[in-house]
Amino acid sequence: MGRAAQRLNLAQSALSKQIQDLEREVGSPLFERLPRGIALSEAGRVFLTHARETLARADLGLRAVRSAAAGESGSLRIGTPDWGDRTQQVASAARRFRAERPSAALHFDSTPWTLHLDALRERRIDVGFGLSAHAGDFGEDIAAELLAAEPARSAVLPGSHPLARQESVSLDELRELPFVYFERSLFPPLYDAATSALRDAGYRPTKTLLALPSFAAAAQVVASGGGWTYVVDSVAALPPPGTVVRRISNVMRDLAFFALSRRDDPNLLIPTFIECLRGARDVQSSGAT
């Protein structure tokens, strides 16, 4: 008992008192007092096994907390875009992230990107994406990191439509087709930028189909011959099945692709993932060059 107290930097009487208090708490003697020292009782041997397991779990917990505090582990929930090579950029960033933070868990969320602002504010995702003209368009509570310029001068058309055979189309030619888009309430920054670009070019749709939750849903309507939709030029890298992407000759509008997160989010994995997104963008740019 004396040697144990010395190793713990305690007085022997203090250690004895702690053992007595512990025995009272568990309701059984943990040691057998012998003429030349002490030994564990049967209850003490059982308690020792569980005590060692508890200390080991506590040590693992401490390491996990320190790793998370250093931005090395934890979890990250990612929304995804659903157009063109932006899906590939996010996939490439995910591979980089997993290589750099092997202890971190990365989860993908299927929420359409037009709903990412709501998903961020409701804390269902940690990183989302958006298109707009300016970083400040998303609200003061949202941090927007510019990832790439996104010229928006293209139309998605049914592959079977006569206009699909042309290299470019005008808004006058598109007027015969219903305009397929989502409601403003879903993603106001992009809706305002897109409709103002078309309005500035003199376009007034004869028929509009709204209430579509995502670009993928709009593309399905277009592919079925239900109309056309206005998109950023990068969609041409991977047109939705059954459609073609054509340049609109009389629209000149530049948007930008942003990674979005909550300004008050302390998760240190967020800046790491955004850096991986930038790295994936740079690789794509050099490959395109």
The full set of domains in the chain, from first to last, is: 2-69 (1.10.10.10), 74-149+257-288 (3.40.190.10), 153-252 (3.40.190.10)
Residue 188 has pLDDT above 80, yes or no: yes
pLDDT-based confidence at 288, cuts 50/70/90? very low
Comparing C-alpha atoms, which of 236, 87, 223, 211 is closest to residue 153? 236
pLDDT digits (tens, 9 = 90+) for 233-282: 988 888 889 999 999 998 888 899 999 999 999 898 999 999 999 888 65
Query: Tell me, what's the pLDDT at 286?
Result: 45
**Residue ranges of the alpha helices (H) in the chain?**
2-7, 12-26, 42-69, 86-100, 116-121, 171-174, 188-200, 215-223, 269-288
| Choice among 61-75, 80-94, 256-270 with the minimum mean pLDDT | 61-75
Give percent above pLDDT 90 in the chain: 38
**Tell me, what DSSP letter sits at residue 210?**
-
Query: Tell me, what's the pLDDT at 185?
Result: 82
Average pLDDT on 114-128 reads: 94
What is the DSSP code string of 136-174?
GGG-TTEEEEEEEEEE--EEEEETTSGGGGSSEE-HHHH
For residues 221 and 156, the answer to whether their CB atoms sit within 8 Å is no
Q: Tell me which of 235 and 65 has the higher pLDDT.
A: 235
Comparing C-alpha atoms, which of 171, 150, 135, 138 is closest to residue 251? 171
Query: Tell me, what's the pLDDT at 72?
Result: 58
Query: Tell me, what's the pLDDT at 179?
Result: 93
pLDDT digits (tens, 9 = 90+) for 189-245: 888 888 888 999 999 888 888 756 777 888 899 999 989 999 999 888 888 899 999
For residue 103, which amino acid is it?
S
For residues 240 and 216, the answer to whether their CB atoms sit within 8 Å is yes
Q: Quick count: other Cβ atoms within 10 Å of Cβ 86?
A: 26
pTM, to two decimals = 0.68
Query: Tell me, what's the pLDDT at 7?
Result: 87
Q: Tell me which of 83 and 130 has the higher pLDDT.
A: 130
